[in-house]
Amino acid sequence: MEATADSLYSGLLVALVGALGAVLGAAATVALQSRSVVQQDSRHRAQRQRDLLIAMHAEILAGVGASRHQLTPEERAYALANDNPFATPDDNDFVFAGTQGDLSILPEPVIHSVVQYYRRAAQSNAMTRDLRDVQFREQSVEERRKFVALLLGVVGQQRRIGHKALDEIESYGDGLGLDLAAKRIAFEAADAAPAMNASDDGNDRADHDASSNRQEI
């Protein structure tokens, strides 16, 4: 009887050890799988953040470039002198719109200036749409010009904040191996080229007119 009891006890102990080993093995497998999923999610989020910064840098850069043309002395004077100003809002900020469900994807060092930039962009777009409003048209010329001056001021703020956002995105991107500053330099050079060509054409016309006048004299 004692031998039988010992045998049963030993068998039970072996079974318990085996069951415990199976449980621990399953737990280890689940832990490894969970760790793998977390690592994959982390890599996916890092890649998404990287792609988002590149796209957002391009979007803000385009907006800042557009505001440069709107704020030239010639364009500003024309807008303020126009009794019936007309403009089209730039509602193409689809990159930022895609992040509004999860702004936490943006890195902390850039999120403040980025949100400020797009807030100013939304404000300038809303004011631009107001230019077509009947109530705006019913205002006096003085009031309309005052509103346009205010709109240009908002665009100027948007441009300044945009430069700050670009600086911060480029600084953060350096740590990710992204040379976004080079993209900015190339964009600004290409954006300035048409203005330089227009200036050269104007100088050529002026030189031609002066030459013609000398010949006539």
- Report d(CA 140, CA 161) in Å as an integer: 32
Task: Look up residue 72 and give its DSSP letter.
Answer: S
What is the tens place of the pLDDT at every residue in 157-200? 999 999 999 999 999 999 999 999 999 999 999 988 765 555 55
Give the mean model confidence (pLDDT) for residues 121-139: 93
The pTM assigned to this predicted structure is 0.72
Q: 104-111 — which CB contacts under 8 Å span 24+ positions?
A: 105/45, 105/48, 105/49, 105/52, 106/49, 106/52, 107/49, 107/53, 107/172, 109/168, 109/171, 109/172, 110/53, 110/165, 110/168, 110/169, 110/172
Confidence bin at 94 (pLDDT 50/70/90): confident
- Report d(CA 162, CA 64) in Å as an integer: 6
Number of helical (H) and strand (E) elements in the chain, helices listed first:
7, 0
Confidence bin at 97 (pLDDT 50/70/90): confident
